[in-house]
Amino acid sequence: MQFNAGRRALILAGLAMTVAGCAAKAPQTQASGTPPATSGRPTETPSPSPEPTPSSPHPEPQLVTPTRDEIIERFNAKVPQHWGLDVPGVISTLPAGATGVALTLDYCGGPGGNQADHTILNLLRQHDMPATLFLNSRWITDNPALAKELAENPLFEIANHGTRHLPLSVTGQSAYGIPGTTGPGAIYDEIMDNTTMITNLTGKAPRFFRPGTAHLDEISTQICLALGQTPTGFSINADAGATYPARIVTQEVGRAQAGDIIIAHGNQPNAATGKGLAEALNQRHGRGGNLVTLTTATTT
Ligand SMILES: [Zn+2]
């Protein structure tokens, strides 16, 4: 399976943004409408390494999910060589040959992050447009009724956005000033505590995982895959952590082509993301749409 490494590399050099602890980056191709500077700049530049992943980006079917102790024993001595948004094992685009575009929305939770932008959800429902919703434990806990409603709507796929919204590291690496997990055991907890919560919500384990800040190392990706979930990045950053003005959001979503994975935030109703996404989705709907969930795109 191949992914568009060139496009991934192109967008990697962008400016990092963060809102409410949920980080993303600006695309290099943006010519105007520079988003406002924000606090929380990254301390390290992610390596734009386009090398192929060492193994399939899809987890092996898990007959039995490894235990926490088994994960620690298997991964404790491993030393990562990569850190950032796009490391070996992360999918940033859909599989080669995919005909759709995957819209992924993050619901980060935590202080300032527990809201929902109903403009976006209503539009998706109105146009029957599917999306993959990455829910954090804190958001689910604060929005039990809405989380259940979203889980019961077949338009929406529920994915894993972590338990405490931490960068996923075996060495405690930070992203945007947020300290990451400190080892395989903490990574297990960050993935699996929310897996339990989502499984209780949907009746099945999530298939895709995106860490808080979207930063991780390649040992973390291996742990994620061992636990049956695909670490998921993105190829189009639609809102740069909900900091872009609406017209830039519209522009970025509008340039999506088959195979792209779009990231935006569904938890910032006071940001311009909703307005910009609404315009972009209306335009896309006019062209017949072609949005897919990650699972649909990776199993057909
Ligand atoms: Zn987030």
Q: What are the residue boundaries of the structural domains of the chain, listed by start?
A: 5-26+65-299
- pLDDT at residue number 17: 39
Residues pairing with 292 in the sheet: 102
pLDDT (0 to 100) of residue 3: 41
At what angle are helices 246-254 and 273-286 packed, to 10 degrees? Answer: 40
Task: For 60-104, write each residue's pLDDT tens digit.
Answer: 555 689 999 999 999 999 999 999 999 999 999 999 999 899 999
User: How far, in Å, from the CA of 5 to the mean position of ligand 1?
Assistant: 24
What pLDDT is stored for residue 284 in this prediction? Answer: 78
**Strand 291-292 to 101-107 pairing:** parallel
pLDDT, position 10: 35
Question: If you measure from the C-alpha of residue 22 to the centroid of ligand 1, how many angstroms do you get, rounded to a whole number?
Answer: 4
Query: End-to-end CA distance of the chain, in Å?
Result: 13
Instruction: Tell me the helix, strand and coil percentages in the chain, rounded to 5.
Output: 35, 15, 50
- 262 CA distance to ligand 1 centroid (A)? 14
CA of 293 to the centre of ligand 1 (A): 18
Query: Which CATH architecture best describes the domain 5-26+65-299?
Result: Alpha-Beta Barrel (3.20)
Q: Is 220 exposed, middle or buried (0-12, 13-18, 19+ CB in 10 A)?
A: buried
Q: What is the pLDDT of residue 61?
A: 56
Angle, in degrees to the nearest 10, between helices 184-202 and 144-152: 70
Per-residue model confidence (pLDDT) at position 60: 57
Answer whether 191's CB lies under 8 Å from 212's CB: no
- The H or E element that residue 185 is part of is helix 184-202
141: left (phi over 0), alpha (psi -120 to 50) or beta: alpha
d(CA 158, CA 148): 10
What's the 289 CA to ligand 1 centre distance in angstroms? 26
Q: 177: CA distance to ligand 1 center in Å? A: 14
- Residues with CB under 5 Å of ion ligand 1 are 22, 106, 108, 212
Q: How far is the CA of 110 from the centre of ligand 1 (A)?
A: 10
What is the mean pLDDT, run by run of 10 residues, along the chain of 300 residues?
40 36 44 35 38 50 85 97 96 94 97 96 93 98 98 98 98 96 98 98 97 98 98 97 96 94 98 96 72 87
Q: Rounded to the nearest whole angstrom, what is the distance from the C-alpha of residue 111 to the centroid of ligand 1? A: 12
Which stretch of DSSP H or E encloses residue 188?
helix 184-202
Residue of 33, 42, 47 whose CA lies nearest to 15: 42
CA of 128 from ligand 1 middle (Å) equals 25
Give the model's pLDDT for residue 52.
39
Distance 213 CA to ligand 1 centre (A): 6
| Identity of the amino acid at 205 | A
Cα–ligand 1 centroid distance for 59 (angstroms): 22
CA–centroid distance, residue 102 to ligand 1 (Å): 17
> In sequence order, which residues have a C-beta less than 8 Å from that of residue 12 and are 6 or more positions away?
25, 28, 46, 48, 84, 85, 86
